[in-house]
Amino acid sequence: MRARIRGAAIAAVTMGLVLGMLSSAHARARRLPPKAAKAVKKAFPNAKIVDTELENENGVKLYEVTVVDDDRRFEVTVSPQGTLVEIENDVPVKDLPGPVVKTVAKHAKGGRITEAEKVEARAVVKAGKLVKLDKPRTFYEIEVRKGGKELEINVLPDGTLLGRPRWDDDDDDDDDD
């Protein structure tokens, strides 16, 4: 009996330590470096920061910050030094430009658009370094599903396809609930 109680106590202490370390790492990720916070506030002066995640993109540390501004939600990717990398916001399918819809339809082959985002890229990661673009580049990131497959397709506002779309197995567990 004592062995079981001792085992349960050790398990509880271990679980507490693990959860403490995880929440501590999450708390550190939530704290934006001052230059990053200043850049986000400058781009969205009236917005409220609702979430922050620390990411690593090809060796470059970036923060993905979710802000709400006037009931609109934006995902802002920013470097610790304050360089805005991307700004994304959801777009209703009905509001997509005609040329974008036409390009998606051509490559989606009967699939259903499940998500559409307008992306403004201001910098890119190349060879492990963050490179600012001369001018922002706007494109649409479209997610399409069909028969258990998922397609992510990036299209410029004029309908020009960026990269090569490829169907992947849809292993998103969100739909299994």
Query: For the segment 112-154, what is each residue's pLDDT rounded down to a tens digit?
Result: 999 999 999 999 999 999 999 999 999 999 999 998 899 999 9
Residue in the structure block whose two tokens are 């790492």 = 25
Q: Please tell me the predicted confidence (pLDDT) of residue 158.
A: 98
95-98, long-range: CB within 8 Å, 24+ apart, which pairs? Answer: 96/140, 96/142, 97/140, 97/157, 97/158, 97/159, 98/159
Q: Please tell me the predicted confidence (pLDDT) of residue 27.
A: 41
* CA 67/CA 46 separation, integer angstroms: 10
* CA 92/CA 117 separation, integer angstroms: 8
Q: Domains of the chain: which residue ranges?
A: 2-176
In CATH, 2-176 is 3.30.70.920 = no
Q: Please tell me the predicted confidence (pLDDT) of residue 2.
A: 56
For the whole prediction, is pTM greater than 0.85?
no
Q: What does each C-alpha distance from 143 to 60, 75, 116, 140, 152 come to in angstroms?
A: 25, 16, 6, 10, 5
Q: If we measure between CA atoms, which residue out of 86, 84, 75, 73 comes closest to residue 36? A: 84
Provide the mean pLDDT of the chain.
Answer: 84
Residue in the structure block whose two tokens are 């709400």 = 68
What residues in the chain have per-residue pLDDT under 70? 1-30, 170-177
Which amino acid does the sequence have at 130? Answer: L
Ordered DSSP codes for 100-164: HHHHHHHHHTT-EEEEEEEEEEEEEEETTEEEEEEEEEEEEEEEEEETTEEEEEEE-TTS-EES-
